[in-house]
Structure 1
Amino acid sequence: MVSNFLNGMTLLLVYQLVGEVSTRVLHLPVPGPVLGMMLLFITLLLRKRVEPVVEPAASALLSHLSLLFVPAGVGVMVHAGRMGEAWLPIIAALVVGTLITLAVTALVMQAMQRLLGKGAARES
């Protein structure tokens, strides 16, 4: 059980490392961990299953997900003065970002419903 967890964490960290190295070598404007996560997602799609060693590590990370927000909260508290000075751009970015996210989510949902609806119609 412990070795599966360690193997899973190692695999996740390797994907993060590959993403980090790729973004630095190719000068991509995407954070390395995000690229690593995209590569992991593509791998999972191609294999059409989750590797057994990834599941214990992913479950452990998800069960302690709230702890991963502590550094962000500390950063907010440390830079509270700076955030007070730039409150308007921060609020504007939050509102615009939220609206864009809602719009993109709605468009993706509509596209998936059309795609799945056409697929279901063909199967009938």
Structure 2
Amino acid sequence: MLNYLTLIFLCQLLGEIGVGLLGLPIPGPVLGMVLLFLFLMVRGRVPEPLGEVAGGLQGAMSLLFVPAGAGVILHVELLGAALAPLGAALVVSTLLTIAVTGLLMQWLGRNDETEASDD
């Protein structure tokens, strides 16, 4: 299990290094996650110990929101001053996400129906 935890952290480190060297506008952990995904695609499956390690990390994920919550409390005046634009952005982005998800599910459902009728 330690090997797979090391693999996860190594992918994150490589992502951070890649973003730093290439000047990419994405967070290093996101690039690291893409690298891990590509590794798993080449391998063809997710090893069970890796799934267990990832599940353990997911179980502790709520702890990662504590610093963000403290930052929100620290800057509550600043957020209050920008409440209208932030609220509008949240509402618009949420509605857009729901619409795109619904349209994508309809499109994917049609493809499943055509494949089922071809059989």
Specify the TM-score bucket, using the shorter chain as the normaliser. Answer: 0.7 to 0.9
Q: Name 1:70's counterpart in structure 2.
A: 66
Structure 1 residue 114 corresponds to structure 2 residue 84: no
Q: Name 2:11's counterpart in structure 1.
A: 15
Q: What TM-score comes out, normalization by structure 1 length?
A: 0.80
Gaps (5+ residues) in structure 1?
none
SS in 2 for 1:29: coil
Shift of 1:36: 1.6
Q: Name 1:92's counterpart in structure 2.
A: 88
Instruction: Give runs of ≥4 in structure 1 deviating > 6 Å.
Output: none
Cα distance in 2 for residues equivalent to 1:78 and 1:86: 15
Q: Which residue type is aligned with residue 114 of structure 1?
A: R
- Please give the per-residue CA displacement for 1:98-119, whole angstroms capped at 9, x wherever unaligned: 1222122223323322333333
Q: What TM-score comes out, normalization by structure 2 length?
A: 0.83
Q: Which residue type is aligned with residue 28 of structure 2?
A: G
Q: Name 2:75's counterpart in structure 1.
A: 79
Cα distance in 2 for residues equivalent to 1:52 and 1:87: 45
- Report the identity percentage: 48
Cα distance in 2 for residues equivalent to 1:109 and 1:47: 29
- Among 40, 43, 61, the alignment partner of 2:39 is 43
The number of residue pairs the alignment matches comes to 119
Cα distance in 2 for residues equivalent to 1:121 and 1:22: 46
- Please give the per-residue CA displacement for 1:9-33, whole angstroms capped at 9, x wherever unaligned: 2111111122222222222222111
Higher relative contact order (CA 8 A, sep 6+): 1
Q: Name 1:59's counterpart in structure 2.
A: 55
Gaps (5+ residues) in structure 2?
none
Cα distance in 2 for residues equivalent to 1:50 and 1:109: 26
Q: Which residue type is aligned with residue 67 of structure 1?
A: L
